[in-house]
Structure 1
Amino acid sequence: MLQWYKVDKTSFYERNQIYEVEAGRIRVCIVQYEQGWKAFSRKCPHAGASFVTGWCEGEELVCSYHRHRFNLNTGKGCPGQGDFITIYPTKVENNDLYVGIEKSNSFFGKWFQ
């Protein structure tokens, strides 16, 4: 089940700038680019670098550390990378940005909610 978490007013964020925010108990990165708002994993799976210093080129997120690229729609890394990032759904209501996080159905997920 998807749980929506309010991040903040969309006007607080500059276009094409990557930010790290809290959505529920998870920290994620967000960016507003040509295609709209995206929320995604906060660290590159290749070397663990923060995406906050990265940038977008078209529909790709580029990690500033080793220049690994990820599709902002699918999360898949470029061919040959063999890695991916998690993409979280977003929505805007009354100029507020929301990020959707899947609620855990496991025993521990229910216990620690």
Structure 2
Amino acid sequence: MLGWPEVRFRLATRGSTLAKIQAQLVADALARRYPEHEFTLTPLTTHGDRHPSMRLSESPREGVFVKDLEQALLDGRAELAVHSAKDLPTLPTPRLTLAAFLPREDARDVLIAQPPGTLARLPPG
């Protein structure tokens, strides 16, 4: 314990179910380490969420799933942001820092399908 006064930290995250689950894992880890503080999720809709049919290869900008989270940090709507590293832009955003990563989970997930099995042929859900 650092003896800081109680502070409420807003964690910006995408509004998808997976993003909120991942962000809650971070909020829970922070709450265990800093029980004197409050950590709440602030779900946001990103450019990529607003344009679901857009091909990433044709996007006019990089970071379509993260730029809105970064902007929330820069304009004071959130103190922290949680996001999947796979979607981060290649170059870091000035004035922001990648501060922490959770331990990696099991990387052995795999999909095995008979030809011509593809992810596109799977039913929704």
Q: By the TM > 0.5 criterion, same fold?
A: no
In our comparison, the structure showing a higher alpha carbon Rg is 2
More helix by share: 2
TM-score, scaled to structure 1? 0.26
More strand by share: 1
TM-score, scaled to structure 2? 0.24
